[in-house]
Chains A and B, each alone.
Chain A
Amino acid sequence: MTVPMALLGLLEREPSHGYELKRDYDSVFGRRKQLPYGQVYATLARLARDGKVIAGESEPGAGPDRRRYVITEQGATEVGLWLAEPVDPQPHLQTVLFVKVVLALMLERDAEKYLDAQRTAHLQRMRELTEVKRSDGMIDALLADHGLFHLEADLRWIDLTAARLARLAAEVRS
């Protein structure tokens, strides 16, 4: 859902060619995960089919698609609604962490050792993201902060779980 809306939003800013959209998407939203050209043109084709963008005439020149895309009123309305709508606050269940802890307790393995190792891995990632914040621009810092707060939430869960291991073990093994 995010990619079509991001492309529509970029088109609301100004009509653009597909390659311009990819360039702008990658520099603002893509960061370390760039958008493949195939996905850009497939998404634009769907948006055109649904009446949210209009593809202009093909322009002469090299490259697979030299058409300029323009957002429609319907597309702009959809962007406006999407931007105003809060995201469903789904609980971000760390199912892998959860399964590992419960299974370790069930099998009488060392769950505390696993949690220690997980804490170290989380803190190492947090150090890397903190370095990104110190050395890169504001957009990277914003993204790094999002990662940092989520990792911090995981760490709270890890610490709470570590403090409750004995009780959890008793319950799991009963």
Chain B
Amino acid sequence: MSALVEARDIHLSFGPTPALRGATFAANSGEIVAVMGPSGSGKSTLLHCLAGILTATSGEVTFAGRRIDSLGEGERSALRRDRFGFVFQFGQLVPELTAEENVALPLLLAGTRRADALTRARLWFDRLDLQDLQRRRSGELSGGEQQRVALARGLVTEPEVLFADEPTGALDSLTGERVMNLLSSAARAHGTTVVLVTHEPRVAAYADREVMVRDGRVTSPALLVGAP
């Protein structure tokens, strides 16, 4: 099976500080892969490179067999908008907009008519059990509610890849569990590939497998079992 998202030997530094030092990663279509590692190991930087938010200084990043690290910002932006979804730890929603307007936002930015965008957004309120929150301003929602709305927004375009960076990092155990149940169930139901950055083993346990990032490099612990 060929990988849907792949990074080969990528390097990236922030000033004199190397963040990625030859990181190699691959996720297959429909797979949920947890990217784990200590703070500062480079796991979020890897996600940003895979998603075309940051550009590696060397190495290759491909999506569906096509290099994206050599694309211009306009093309990468279109890719992020049309084929990728995102969920971050916090600060993702526009507080002045209602929850359904927030969810519809990626569709509106892609040129979908407002009525159609809101109709499609409302489908996700049903799927993620958020019906009561549709008309509430996102600034009035609790952390767990905001994160479920953010998840709906990340999935509303039915992306091929969902990039989730510490999606439960600001939530208590029970709320985090609910978000992860919804995220993993929705991803599996729609065949969405998920790159899930987390330092929490209980969150990583929702993934099909995990990789570890250490000092800017990726190790796949599964390959080490039984190795000489």
Interface set of A (CB-CB < 8 Å, partner B): 113, 116-117, 119-123, 126-127, 129-130, 134, 148, 151-152, 155, 159, 163
Contacts and interface: CB of A to CB of B under 8 A. Distances in A.
Contact of A129 (B204, B205, B207, B219): B205
Contacts of A121: 225
A120 to B, nearest CB: 4
A30 B43 CA distance: 41
A109 to B, nearest CB: 12
A120 B201 contact: no
B201 A155 contact: yes
A126 B205 contact: yes
Contacts of A148: 202, 205
A120 B212 CA distance: 10
Given A126-B205, A129-B205, A119 B221 contact: yes
Contacts of B207: 127
A117 B221 contact: yes
B222 interface: yes
Given A113-B227, A129-B205, 13 more contacts: A117-B225, A119-B212, A120-B210, A121-B225, A122-B201, A123-B210, A126-B205, A127-B206, A127-B207, A151-B201, A152-B201, A159-B38, A163-B38
B188 to A, nearest CB: 11
B182 to A, nearest CB: 11
B181 interface: yes
A73 B161 CA distance: 63
A116 B224 contact: yes
Closest 8 CB pairs between A and B?
A126-B205, A120-B221, A130-B205, A116-B221, A155-B201, A116-B224, A117-B225, A127-B205
Contact of B202 (A117, A152, A159): A152
A148 B202 CA distance: 7
Nearest to B210: A123
Contacts of A159: 38
A105 to B, nearest CB: 18
Interface centre among A113, A127, A129 (most CB of B within 10 A): A127
Interface string B43-73: 0000000000000000000000000000000
A49 B226 CA distance: 52
A117 B93 CA distance: 39
Contacts of B206: 127, 130
A121 B207 CA distance: 14
A126 B202 contact: yes
A130 B227 CA distance: 27
